[in-house]
Amino acid sequence: MTTHALFPQPRRLLHRLSATALWLLAAGHLLALMSLLMILLMYAPARSETACHGKNLLEGLQRDDPRAHAAVMAEGRDVVNGQGLFWKVEREGIAPSYLLGTMHVTDPRVLKMPPGAAEAHAAARVIVIESDEILDERRAAAAILARPELTMFTDGRSIENLLPPEDLVVLKEGLEERGLVLSAVSRMKPWMLAGFVATSACESARKADGAIFLDKKIALDGVASGKPVKGLETLQEQLAAMAEMPIDFHLQALVETVRLGDRMDDVVETMTELYLAGETGLTIPALKALTPTLTEGDESAYAAFESAVISARNHRMAERAAPILAEGGAFVAVGALHLPGEDGLVELLRKQGFTVSRSR
């Protein structure tokens, strides 16, 4: 497979690509809040670029290596519950509920929910999202700041004394291009900065114009129609999951995200088109296909990431969603990456006695 034709980037950067992309999918709304928090704290300006220029990298793979592309498609479609964004959740004697996989962006294509989802939302008695704290982002930011150890180095360390000189140069220059001064933010945990640097200019511009991401729109529409909105996690819990990962992993992911530059738009467009096609099971196989052979350390870090930020959260959300679903009439919306696989929400809810069938 010719990966360098798709990504003319240093091998070290490519080693981190799939982790960066998974990070965006699994905690995109949290990273967006980190970006907002930085703006509120006046560390960074909102960016004004409006045009999105990303390309679907899988199209390049199909053109350059049809066999590799076919293998990716086959692997993705072997993933349990790997196709479909919208699912019906049933149990005898109660009204049906619905489960929607979301993508935490303001892209108008994503905001248009699958057929039947708007009707299910309108008929629901309760709306359930990952964290109901996103309804008031300023209060959510204040709650996060109440746990300073989750957002700042409180032990005398800083990004500047943790990164080698060559990475510091890359990070410093990349932050300056985005209107940030490294010395002003070096005591922030790297996932704070990641929320800003991983957001494309066009996504930032849409948010500056008042656009909201899908999960928040679903929640606000629920509030407007008088429905209760419940969360399955707190933002502090989500940040704590990020904090479980080794700091070196987050530092390298931050540096490599900066190195990606405009290529991040291609990563986001690739993930967006997979999402719109309902191919949730293809995400990880596709990212791995577009990445050169990983070292044992990289594979271990990815496994730890998936365990802490995806699988463990899936189990927590399934456990907390169960009593709400048991009352019927719920509309549940969570990131699409939480749906597929043996440890995905669809399968976990089935193990709790619900019948879960694909609606789209």
In Å, the largest CA–CA distance within the chain is 63
- pTM equals 0.86
pLDDT tens track for 189-237: 888 787 777 777 788 788 878 889 999 999 999 999 999 999 999 988 8
Residue 176: inside a domain: yes
Give the residue among 24, 7, 42 at the shortest CA–CA distance from 336.
24
Q: Report the pLDDT value the prediction gives residue 215, as an integer from 0 to 100.
A: 94
Distance (Å, whole) CA 65 – CA 69: 6
* Residue 302 falls inside a structural domain: yes
2 in a domain, yes or no? no
Sequential DSSP letters for 114-163: PTTHHHHHHH-SEEEES-GGGGSHHHHHHHHHTSGGGTB--SS--HHHHS
* Separation of alpha carbons 226 and 168, rounded Å: 50
Helix axes 235-243, 11-40, angle to 10 degrees: 150
Q: What is the pLDDT along the chain (360 residues), one digit of tens a residue?
A: 333 334 334 334 334 455 555 555 555 555 555 555 554 444 545 555 557 888 998 998 899 999 989 999 999 999 999 999 999 999 999 999 999 999 988 999 999 999 999 999 999 999 999 999 889 877 777 777 788 888 889 999 999 999 999 999 999 999 888 888 899 889 988 887 877 777 777 887 888 788 899 999 999 999 999 999 999 999 888 888 878 888 888 888 888 888 877 777 888 888 899 999 999 999 888 877 775 544 555 566 667 777 777 899 999 999 999 999 999 999 999 999 899 999 999 999 999 999 999 996
Residue 231 lies in a domain: yes
pLDDT value of residue 9: 41
Q: Quick check: is 7 in a domain?
A: no
Q: What residue numbers bound the domain in which 181 lies?
A: 12-358
91 is written with which tokens?
Answer: 């149990």
pLDDT at 302: 64
In a domain, 5, yes or no: no
CB 44 within 8 A of CB 196: yes
Task: Tell me how many domains the chain contains.
Answer: 1
